[in-house]
Amino acid sequence: MSSPAHLLLVNPSAGAGRAMKRLPKIEEAMRAHELTYRVVMTNSIAHGCEQALKGADAGEIPVVVSGDGLIGKVGGVLAETRTPLGVIPGGRGNDLARVVGIPTEPAEAVAVLAAGERRRIDVGEANGRHFLCIASCGFDSDANRIANEARAVKGPLVYAYAALKALAQWSPARFTISLDGAEHELRGYSVVVANSKAYGGGMYVAPAAELDDGILDVVTTADVSKRRFLQNLPKVFKGEHVELPEVEAHRAAEVRVSADRPFAVYADGDHLTDLPMTVRVLPGALELIAPAAGP
């Protein structure tokens, strides 16, 4: 019985063209591992999701060659199906790949695909829309928007640039947060509802989050001076910010968030929905081709 074919969904604009530049090495590695494949260039997220579902119906394994945005959306449409998702990182942040141990180097990523090891991961759902990593709002809303608009800034540096620019314009917001029905009030910067650990190109904002534990991690940052916020921003890359008194971490199966002014909610690097939002988790809803989780 022959192995299933792989459908390489390549986002030509991901990572300022990084996915396209990596395609020759990816194809070389696919041939070296004797993996059957075909390539589709996506022209939008909707097109990528449509092609993924068509490929799945034809018995192909969708493999997203892009950043977290397209990966998250394709993973979302494959949730609760029997079709696995393959990932070859090609974006600026590549946070899902980072957390699950898929290398950024094309040949090494294809080797993971060839090994075929699979693991079940949870999928988040905010206002009925699926995401894989982290849904956040507040300061993060402004920073995400700025990062997505900053096409001239290359690589992960875009997230530092976006944070600095967002901070200059920021004023505190008041959030109402419900954790499994228990209501909390927060005046501060952001509310992060995490299915995974990292976002923003390696910021471990929810270091205790696990992709397969069936629960959401909620991390909030209360109001402090902009100077203190900026000084402590590097701690996020190691997950050390959760030790600060202004940062609180909670866990819940259902989270509701509203605010005293409008905020977009970003997840997997893209606009997902708007406040108010209700978030829940779909345990083990997606099969991912990736190294097995540690003990």
Domains of the chain, each with CATH number or no CATH: 6-116 (3.40.50.10330), 129-281 (2.60.200.40)
Report whether pLDDT(2) > 90.
no
pLDDT at residue 153 tops 70: no
| pLDDT tens for each residue of 75-134 | 999 999 999 999 999 988 899 999 999 999 999 999 999 999 999 999 999 999 999 999
Mean pLDDT value across the chain: 93
- pLDDT at residue 1, rounded to an integer: 43
pLDDT at 295 over 60: no
Mention every residue, 6+ apart, whose C-beta is less than 8 A from residue 165: 143, 146
The model's pTM: 0.92
Average pLDDT on 17-26 reads 88
205: three-class secondary structure by DSSP: coil
Q: What is the mean pLDDT of residues 248-276?
A: 96
| Length of the chain counted residue by residue | 295
List, for residues 160-202, the tens digit of each pLDDT value: 788 889 999 999 999 999 999 999 999 999 999 999 999 988 9
The answer to whether the CB of 36 falls within 8 A of the CB of 27 is no
In this predicted model, which residue has the larger pLDDT, 146 or 215?
215
Kindly tell me if the per-residue pLDDT of 155 is higher than 80: no
Active site members: 270
| Residue range 219-241, pLDDT digits in tens | 999 999 999 999 999 999 999 99
What pLDDT is recorded for position 76?
97
Question: Tokens standing for 2?
Answer: 């022959």
Mean pLDDT of 207-221: 98
pLDDT above 80 for 28: yes
